[in-house]
Structure 1
Amino acid sequence: MGTILDRLRSNPLRTRDDARQLLLDLNAPLRAGFSPGRAQVRLGLDSAHFDRKAEWFEGFARPLWGLAPLVAGGGHFEGWEDFREGFRNGTDPKHAEYWEEPGDHDQRSVEMAAAGFALALTPEELWTPLSPEARGNVARWLGSIQRVAMADNNWHFFPVMAGLGLQRVGEPIDEASRDRHLARLDEFYLRDGWYGDGIDGYIDHYNGFAIQFYGLIYAALAGDRDPERAARYRDRAAQFAQGFQHWFGADGATLAMGRSLTYRFATAAFWGALAYANVEALPWGVIRGLWARQIRWWMEQPITDEAGRLRIGYRWPNILMSENYNSQGSPYWAFKAFLPLALPEDHPFWQAEEAPHPVADGVTTIPGASLVVQRQGGDVFALPGGPTRTHMRGAVDKYAKFSYSTHLGPTVEAERWIEYGCCGDNILAVSPDGQDWHMRRAILGRRVGEDWIEASWRPLPEVSVETLQFFEGGWEIRLHALDTPVALQAVESGHAVPCRVGARGRLAALFAQEGGSGGTLLRAGEAYGSAILDPSGKRVSGVLDVMPNTSLMFPQAAVPVLGARLGPGTHLLASAVWAGRAEAPGEAPSGAAVLERACRCGGWAARLKGMVWSLDTVALREDRRALDPAF
């Protein structure tokens, strides 16, 4: 049989039975974490901002996103008695492991959605066997979510999910409260199927693995009672699929952008939810392929510990990249991806042959997401213009970089370590003293064109920047119009690749040089290349390490950079950025092509007048480094 890690990595995920086995293998290591009263699953000492009872309830509840569909679809799971006992004790106010009633903005509300969902799908396991007293406790406790305030974002769906469970077992709900939550969610709607995660319009994976996911479940389970909403949710999901398909590489990797990336293959949940609600937004073979390749890609990465438990992190276990609401049970939101297990074997989703990704290489604009994406060699690169979260750890790095990708993910703390000679990816950071560095945080204004994006921002209160970005000939072009009343040092970076260069002293040497030196191509092994060049010859190029453990993709990484000293006044900085698997980037676009494209973007013709873009002076130096042996 092999070890559990062998089974996880070798599962081909070709059939419904393969998916069932993968779920059971991923769930098996959690059994040892059950508390004596079976109402808690304790997975480690690391903690989140909420109390331990809520944390251990999270560990208990999140696996139900997968286990309930498994059994609803006729699969066998021998551990239901643990969950029944947990339901009895967790909802009993007299028991030591009582989950407690939720307060306003309480993490318990998040997990009550999973409990309600499981009750809706498997009442024969979680309701029918209970005594009348225990049923009363469950109903009272689950119903309490209707009386507390939710965070003003995707959380509005949590009381709705809890209500679906209560209605399934014949318990009443506060329909007026439900309707208020659903009406508030409608206020977050943008266009083309896209929602903001809250009224501020944040764009991230919460569109797929939360808002759209819950809407499709609601359409499937409450469509008879609420046909108008169900039809609207199905229609929006079908529209959303047209843009969201561009967030996935040909190998199944997903765009590493936004918060809650530790939920990993929860990003496949939307494709499974389409099937659950019978929405053929794309051909079934395409939907099946997007779903399966995404999960399969994750199973190839070192995302578990030796026991097979999912750990906080992204491509590798890494607490540093997490948000403050991530506990050791958090990654099991990934089990949402197993929703198709509720479908019968003869459903078109399971009968379809996996089809490859349907989108060819090229550039696409997704207006609803304020995003311009380029598919190149099957990998996806995205230029964001959406609002930036600033109120949680690491959020600026996950929303405000110039570029994100499926192949080379972002770093956190990108600006923090520049003083010490390390730099994160895809930023322009400035400093008046060489010690305190400031990158793009809030995007103050944006314009999204047919194939370009413009954003205004301020790294410092007195320094303003307008950045124009587009793709040209396989390269990402960045034009920064920067105005400063004070002298600055400036560093701009490309994508991070898995190697180490030895950063000590490199930053000082960069600023000690006079005159431009073109650009640098940094290669790590055969699959990772990253380049940045300054065709105007204003900046010096080099390579800097990323601070260890700050990359979501690699424990060690490095980035190509451009550095310059800028005097007071207005500056136009031009850069061409490339990343990919090819041995070398294609020829950089000509100055004429770049200027012609940029001048079509209103307001840039005057800025670009007299700009020199001379490839004749560019020497793209190559720096080859050994791949980080961990990858």
Structure 2
Amino acid sequence: MERRKFLGAISLAGIAGALRPGALLAGAGSGTDGSRNVSVPVHALEGAPGSRNPSKEALPGRPGKDREYWWQLLHKIATPVVSNLAAGTLVKNMPVEKSPTFDKRSIHVTYLEAVGRTFAGIAPWLALPDDGSREGAARKKMRENALEGLRRCFAPGSPDALNFKTDYQPIVDAAYLAQSFLRAPKALWEPLDETTRTNIIEAFRSLRNRKPFNSNWLLFGSLTEAFLLQAGMEPDEERLMKGIVKMKEWYKGDGWYGDGPNLAFDYYNSFVIHPMLTDTLAVLAARRPALQKDYEEALKRMQRYALEQERMISPEGTFPPIGRSITYRTAAFQALSQVALMELLPEGISPAQVRSALTLVKKNMYSAPGTFTKDGWLMLGFVGHDPQVADYYTSTGSLYMATLSFLPLGLPASNAFWADPPAEWTAKKAWAGKNFPKDYHVDY
């Protein structure tokens, strides 16, 4: 039953749209195709600079208003990538800021990072059916631009052609792009023409001449091969299964996997491990019944980790800046967001309390001056602009992992996640002296 709910969540048919960068936040304007863009004035986005301090709100948000804030913010983040990709101007227009300690890898990988990560985050939203709302119009436009962008960036000779043939970094972001196709097959994969689908498959298969590192990277290989299997291709069996086998070996207990043999106290269990392991096993369990128990085990562990994530959100809507890659910002909550999308939140955690907590986190984080350039591109930093916290592998494209916390936008507006009244989350209850659930270690 759980697996069926998950597969339903990642395969919703839908459409989506993108406007020119900043259109939603800078007033009405015309798109590059001459069409009129949907627009919302900047003061309409709650938590924007100049509005009230979101940390001072007793209990932020209202049904409907929170969703409006989320989709407008996701649209603001994703539009520069998606609209420029559709126009063939991503390489031309995307500013590239590198970490002060950036290593010798080709900077060209930053464009693939931007595409793969953005698409993985917007996919569930794009999978929703069309409607006549402002959100629906923006979503439809973004879907159209996403499909056009995929055609362009996989066309030989395109100025935005993505690099898969050199460096190791494409192993990572091919997996995020593959994950977007698993999350929204009817919106992002099936509508593509046969030539583009063939080019994507060949690009993914070309990665087999490079082995993922012995860490969370193994799951990038597994997820990409799982997608190829889903697409009707013969997978590289060793690459497909190695991430699954090693993660079972590296499980440390209580919802935490090691990133390799050792435990790393950072957010890679959310950035990569739980979502990609669960998504890979969902594909495999549908074809190989013997792996159903592995899927159910991985899901229970992700639910446990999601419970812990919810408890890490402070009453003020902040979370610990621990470990590496903190420039990925709210991607730290991908695991919690995915469990919410699957409608499988752990007992004792309501959808509304997750929505309320994450809404305040987003307001605190994305309203900080220096988060975006004047043209709407993300800048290096955790809260605001701070290149010094960027790691040696981080550049502008890396930052679009932030979209991965917006997965619940794949739930319709009528879902309890969006429709229920605001609710206090665990830490807010605890620090107000109110009753809250006790917490115990689990053995699975």
TM-score by length of 2: 0.72
* Alignment partners' CA distance in 2, 1:42 and 1:51: 18
Label 1:327 to 1:150 Cα distance change in 2 as closer, same or farther (>3 A). Answer: same
Label 1:312 to 1:273 Cα distance change in 2 as closer, same or farther (>3 A). Answer: same
Decide whether the 8 Å contact of 1:188 with 1:198 is kept in 2. Answer: yes
Decide whether the 8 Å contact of 1:123 with 1:169 is kept in 2. Answer: no
Label 1:287 to 1:32 Cα distance change in 2 as closer, same or farther (>3 A). Answer: closer
Decide whether the 8 Å contact of 2:85 with 2:160 is kept in 1. Answer: no
**Which structure dedicates a bigger proportion of its chain to helix?**
2
Residue identity in the other structure for 2:110: E
Residue identity in the other structure for 1:289: S
SS state at 1:329 partner: helix
* Alignment partners' CA distance in 2, 1:359 and 1:93: 52
Aligned equivalent of 1:333: 401
Pick from 139, 147, 152 the counterpart of residue 84 of structure 1. 147
* Deviation by residue 1:391-442 (Cα, 9 ceiling, x = unmatched): xxxxxxxxxxxxxxxxxxxxxxxxxxxxxxxxxxxxxxxxxxxxxxxxxxxx
Label 1:131 to 1:153 Cα distance change in 2 as closer, same or farther (>3 A). Answer: same
Once the two structures are TM-superposed, the CA of residue 109 in structure 1 deviates from its matched residue by 1.5
Residue identity in the other structure for 1:241: A
Aligned equivalent of 1:291: 358
SS state at 1:301 partner: coil
Residue identity in the other structure for 2:308: G
Alignment of 1:545-560 (within 5 A): none
**Which structure dedicates a bigger proportion of its chain to strand?**
1
* Alignment partners' CA distance in 2, 1:204 and 1:166: 30
* Alignment partners' CA distance in 1, 2:124 and 2:106: 29
SS state at 1:171 partner: coil
Residue identity in the other structure for 1:113: A
Aligned sequence identity (%): 23
Label 1:257 to 1:322 Cα distance change in 2 as closer, same or farther (>3 A). Answer: same
Pick from 140, 143, 161 the counterpart of residue 202 of structure 2. 140
Decide whether the 8 Å contact of 2:121 with 2:180 is kept in 1. Answer: no
Once the two structures are TM-superposed, the CA of residue 128 in structure 1 deviates from its matched residue by 3.5
Label 1:158 to 1:40 Cα distance change in 2 as closer, same or farther (>3 A). Answer: farther
Pick from 44, 64, 69 the counterpart of residue 95 of structure 2. 44
Q: Does 1:101 align with 2:164?
A: yes
Q: Does 1:248 align with 2:275?
A: no
* Alignment partners' CA distance in 1, 2:155 and 2:84: 21
Decide whether the 8 Å contact of 2:331 with 2:402 is kept in 1. Answer: yes
Aligned equivalent of 1:214: 276
Q: Does 1:228 align with 2:329?
A: no
Larger RCO: Structure 1 or Structure 2 (Cα < 8 Å, ≥ 6 residues apart)? 2
Label 1:128 to 1:239 Cα distance change in 2 as closer, same or farther (>3 A). Answer: closer
* Deviation by residue 1:184-212 (Cα, 9 ceiling, x = unmatched): 12222111011222222211111223212
Pick from 22, 32, 36 the counterpart of residue 73 of structure 2. 22
Structure 1: tracts of 5 or more residues without a match: 363-374, 379-449, 451-631
Aligned equivalent of 1:154: 216
Residue identity in the other structure for 1:71: L
Q: Does 1:60 align with 2:115?
A: yes
Alignment of 1:325-364 (within 5 A): 325-359=393-427
Decide whether the 8 Å contact of 1:217 with 1:276 is kept in 2. Answer: no
Decide whether the 8 Å contact of 1:38 with 1:83 is kept in 2. Answer: no
* Alignment partners' CA distance in 2, 1:10 and 1:343: 23
* Alignment partners' CA distance in 1, 2:210 and 2:247: 17
Once the two structures are TM-superposed, the CA of residue 82 in structure 1 deviates from its matched residue by 4.2
Residue identity in the other structure for 1:60: V
Residue identity in the other structure for 1:52: I
Label 1:234 to 1:177 Cα distance change in 2 as closer, same or farther (>3 A). Answer: same
Label 1:100 to 1:32 Cα distance change in 2 as closer, same or farther (>3 A). Answer: closer
Aligned equivalent of 1:271: 336
* Deviation by residue 1:552-609 (Cα, 9 ceiling, x = unmatched): xxxxxxxxxxxxxxxxxxxxxxxxxxxxxxxxxxxxxxxxxxxxxxxxxxxxxxxxxx
Q: Which moved more, 1:45-54 or 1:1-10?
A: 1-10
* Alignment partners' CA distance in 1, 2:427 and 2:321: 19
* Alignment partners' CA distance in 2, 1:205 and 1:345: 29
Residue identity in the other structure for 1:88: R
Alignment of 1:354-393 (within 5 A): 354-359=422-427
* Alignment partners' CA distance in 1, 2:326 and 2:396: 14
* Alignment partners' CA distance in 2, 1:264 and 1:233: 25
Alignment of 1:289-328 (within 5 A): 289-302=356-369, 303-328=371-396
Alignment of 1:572-591 (within 5 A): none
Label 1:201 to 1:41 Cα distance change in 2 as closer, same or farther (>3 A). Answer: farther
* Alignment partners' CA distance in 2, 1:337 and 1:290: 12
SS state at 1:190 partner: strand
SS state at 1:63 partner: helix
Once the two structures are TM-superposed, the CA of residue 17 in structure 1 deviates from its matched residue by 4.1
Aligned equivalent of 1:447: none
* Deviation by residue 1:487-535 (Cα, 9 ceiling, x = unmatched): xxxxxxxxxxxxxxxxxxxxxxxxxxxxxxxxxxxxxxxxxxxxxxxxx
Once the two structures are TM-superposed, the CA of residue 309 in structure 1 deviates from its matched residue by 2.4
Once the two structures are TM-superposed, the CA of residue 147 in structure 1 deviates from its matched residue by 4.4
Residue identity in the other structure for 1:340: P
* Alignment partners' CA distance in 2, 1:25 and 1:113: 24
Residue identity in the other structure for 1:137: N
Label 1:42 to 1:125 Cα distance change in 2 as closer, same or farther (>3 A). Answer: farther
Decide whether the 8 Å contact of 1:62 with 1:111 is kept in 2. Answer: yes
Label 1:2 to 1:184 Cα distance change in 2 as closer, same or farther (>3 A). Answer: closer
Once the two structures are TM-superposed, the CA of residue 338 in structure 1 deviates from its matched residue by 1.2
Decide whether the 8 Å contact of 2:381 with 2:390 is kept in 1. Answer: yes
RMSD: 3.2
* Alignment partners' CA distance in 2, 1:46 and 1:360: 37
Decide whether the 8 Å contact of 1:163 with 1:173 is kept in 2. Answer: yes
Residue identity in the other structure for 2:261: I
Larger radius of gyration: 1
Alignment of 1:344-493 (within 5 A): 344-359=412-427
Once the two structures are TM-superposed, the CA of residue 8 in structure 1 deviates from its matched residue by 4.5
* Alignment partners' CA distance in 2, 1:377 and 1:44: 47
Label 1:38 to 1:251 Cα distance change in 2 as closer, same or farther (>3 A). Answer: same
* Alignment partners' CA distance in 2, 1:195 and 1:239: 12
* Alignment partners' CA distance in 2, 1:176 and 1:66: 28
SS state at 2:385 partner: coil
Pick from 183, 197, 218 the counterpart of residue 245 of structure 2. 183
* Alignment partners' CA distance in 2, 1:307 and 1:38: 14
